A and B are shown apart, each in its own frame.
Chain A
């Protein structure tokens, strides 16, 4: 198990290399340059070229890439922002923490909101307890996150004045943004939980549990749910991607200083160091969450655990 975790963490290295390469490539083939963005449309071309040279932007693509990666790995130096001339790490880290907080609270919330109605609709299939939540979830899944954000802003900040409408300095500040980003994935998770539970409920071992005389509560929560959780957990892990994207929306909407909005802003300036460092941090977070998902798998399912501990599996 321990060896497996180390192995997975080592996989971070090729992941980071791949991610930086793709970002550099995309940045390179898209038009525009940081000096032009900084100096404005009317600046003479000579000044622009000079600034680009000063920033190191005009060097060949591969050279830039290799330089950046070696500096990052061996000196833990993410470079300086083209735009603010500040150390990228200093600029990005506090914003990263904010976004991660937002996304992780969002993920927990979406699981808490999504799983219980998923179980309910599966257990009470074809009754009103199934149709009403299912149809609601269907509609919610079709509505983009920012709509919820704006509705909440309107009611809870503007009308009722219960919650602050911008910033991220207290717990109250996080309530609306996290809800905003967690509702769409919650609808997904609910539908996933439902179909997974419906399948589990029809399994023979659930009938065996009933045949033992076990109360319905035990049959559903212990036998069916434990087996139904596996695909749901994968879905929760995958929705982290959705949540980080959603975080950008929430950051913009509620003026939260997060990493998503920073990256979007700096794309306009072709601020490569910021964009790449931000993407790397996000992909590290994503990889770690996927690792946690896999560990949760092993925790729930002894068959998967057996595969990890024997280091390979025979199947």
Chain B
């Protein structure tokens, strides 16, 4: 396989990715210069509230943005050293589902209602293995279903015969059918209820360990980040405002006020706080972003400079953040 040559530690290197959604009425700046790397076998958590551009980032890596509105303005996404943004359709199809696979947010709508789940899993395998026999495909479908905890006999059933959590397992099975190097999981548990969430997370975690897959875990749930991720990138209004190893993000040292706000708005059993502290206000209008720091209008520690100047990245070790408060300390 041409994409599996060893290029050191880094599997995916995204640099200065910029994406807009353009309609006749307006232009939405969805992703504004996002950079991150995912190391082989590691999991990066992409955290942020709804509308921060997490899903757009993921879809851009797969080049699956809606073709009528989504546009990638610039940036790189080097997968094994080759820039996906420069791929043609044939090359894209060769990596989609094969080297990079995606688990979508809503299992209720992500499966084709008129195809059996077995056929839907088989499709991935058949697409990427042309000379495979029907029996071989069937055996592999059975194996992958067993792997995600579904009885292989159920492969001839249709999605409507499965519960939500089971459907998400099928979606995961489709994604893992070709043992991809990178799995992008876009809020895989958001649409599920809490008990099922834990099950699905365990399935993902187990499979990652068994198959050695790298992962981009998109979530707004800091609990999931703590359980699954090695590195974290916090996204706000289309920018990564803080990133680093999970230990750094969860340690009580200096943080971007938005990250701090995120942690304050999560219940913690060990703290004595009587109330949660939500971050006041809403995300800025992505059709009209503020000129300075994008978080400044909601920030309790905003200074004069925040409204004027876009903050630069401050790096200390593997931990980096973009905030004027910490401008003096790092680079």
Q: Which residues of A contact B (CB under 8 A)?
A: 125-126, 202-205, 207-216, 218, 222-223, 226-227, 300-303, 306
Q: Is the interface of A mostly helix, strand, loop or mixed?
A: helix
Nearest chain B CB to A303 CB, angstrom units? 5
Contacts A210-B96, A227-B114 known; 18 new A-B pairs at CB < 8 A: A126-B68, A205-B109, A205-B111, A207-B64, A207-B110, A208-B110, A208-B171, A209-B123, A211-B101, A213-B94, A213-B97, A218-B123, A223-B112, A223-B115, A226-B114, A302-B113, A303-B113, A306-B161
Chain A residues with Cβ below 8 Å from B104 are: 204, 207-208, 211
Which 6 interchain pairs have the tightest Cβ spacing? A213-B96, A212-B97, A213-B97, A204-B109, A302-B158, A205-B112
**In the complex the two chains form, what is the Cα distance from A208 to B175 in whole Å?**
9
Chain A residues with Cβ below 8 Å from B35 are: none
- B277 contacts the other chain (Cβ, under 8 Å)? no
Nearest chain B CB to A134 CB, angstrom units? 16
Chain A residues with Cβ below 8 Å from B321 are: none
Whether the pair A212, B124 counts as a contact (CB closer than 8 A) is yes
Chain A residues with Cβ below 8 Å from B92 are: 213
Q: Contacts A125-B68, A211-B62 known; A302 to B160 CB distance under 8 Å?
A: yes
A/B interface sample: 6 pairs, CB < 8 A: A203-B109, A209-B112, A213-B94, A214-B93, A218-B123, A227-B114
Whether the pair A227, B112 counts as a contact (CB closer than 8 A) is yes
Report the tally of A-B residue pairs with Cβ distances under 8 A: 83
- B182 contacts the other chain (Cβ, under 8 Å)? no
Nearest chain A CB to B241 CB, angstrom units? 28
Size bin of chain B's contact surface: 20 to 34
Nearest chain B CB to A229 CB, angstrom units? 9
- B102 contacts the other chain (Cβ, under 8 Å)? yes
Q: Contacts A125-B68, A306-B160 known; A208 to B174 CB distance under 8 Å?
A: yes
- B106 contacts the other chain (Cβ, under 8 Å)? yes
**In the complex the two chains form, what is the Cα distance from A126 to B68 in whole Å?**
9
- B197 contacts the other chain (Cβ, under 8 Å)? no
- B128 contacts the other chain (Cβ, under 8 Å)? yes
- B127 contacts the other chain (Cβ, under 8 Å)? yes
Chain A residues with Cβ below 8 Å from B94 are: 213
Q: Contacts A223-B112, A303-B160 known; A212 to B174 CB distance under 8 Å?
A: yes
